[in-house]
Homo-oligomer: A and B are copies of this chain.
Amino acid sequence: MTERVVLAYSGGLDTSVAIGWIAEETKAEVVAVAIDCGQGGEDLDAVRQRAIDCGAVDAVVADAKDEFATEYCIPALQANALYMDRYPLVSALSRPLIVRHLADAARYHNATMVAHGCTGKGNDQVRFEAGLAALHPELKVLAPVRDSGMTRDKAIAFAEEKGLPIDVTKKSPYSIDQNLFGRAIETGFLEDIWNAPVEDVYAYSEDPANPRDPDEVVVTFTAGVPTAIDGKELTPLQVIEEMNRRAGAHGVGRIDMVEDRLVGIKSREVYEAPGAIALITAHQELENVTVERDLARFKRGVDQRWGELVYDGLWYSPLKDALDGFIAEANRHVSGDIRMELHGGRAVVTGRRSEKSLYNYELATYDTGDTYDQSNARGFIDVWSMPAKIASLRDQASS
Contacts and interface: CB of A to CB of B under 8 A. Distances in A.
Interface of A: 84-85, 119-121, 125-126, 129-130, 133-135, 137, 143, 146-147, 175, 186, 188, 191-197, 208-209, 211, 214, 254, 256-260, 262-268, 284-285, 288-289, 291-302, 304-305, 308-309, 312-314, 316-319, 321-330, 333, 339, 341, 343-346, 348-353, 355-361, 363-367, 370, 372-395, 398
Contact of A346 (B323, B345, B381): B345
A84 B370 CA distance: 25
Contacts of A257: 285, 288, 349
A257 to B, nearest CB: 6
A121 to B, nearest CB: 5
Given A388-B134, A388-B318, A364 B325 contact: no
A58 to B, nearest CB: 26
A372 B317 contact: no
A358 B390 CA distance: 6
Nearest to A365: B191
Contacts of A358: 266, 387, 390-391, 394
Contacts of A264: 293, 382-387, 390
A379 to B, nearest CB: 3
Contact of A120 (B267, B295, B377, B384): B377
A360 B295 CA distance: 32
Nearest to A263: B383
A344 to B, nearest CB: 4
A346 B241 CA distance: 24
Contacts of A192: 361
Contacts of A398: 333, 355-356
Contacts of A186: 366
Contact of A374 (B121, B258, B349): B121
B135 A333 contact: no
A294 to B, nearest CB: 4
A147 B292 CA distance: 28
Given A84-B288, A349-B256, A294 B266 contact: no
Nearest to A314: B388
B381 A260 contact: no
B388 A133 contact: yes
Nearest to A208: B344
A372 B386 CA distance: 11
The 9 closest A-B pairs by CB, nearest first: A379-B379, A120-B374, A264-B386, A376-B379, A344-B344, A130-B385, A196-B350, A325-B325, A133-B389
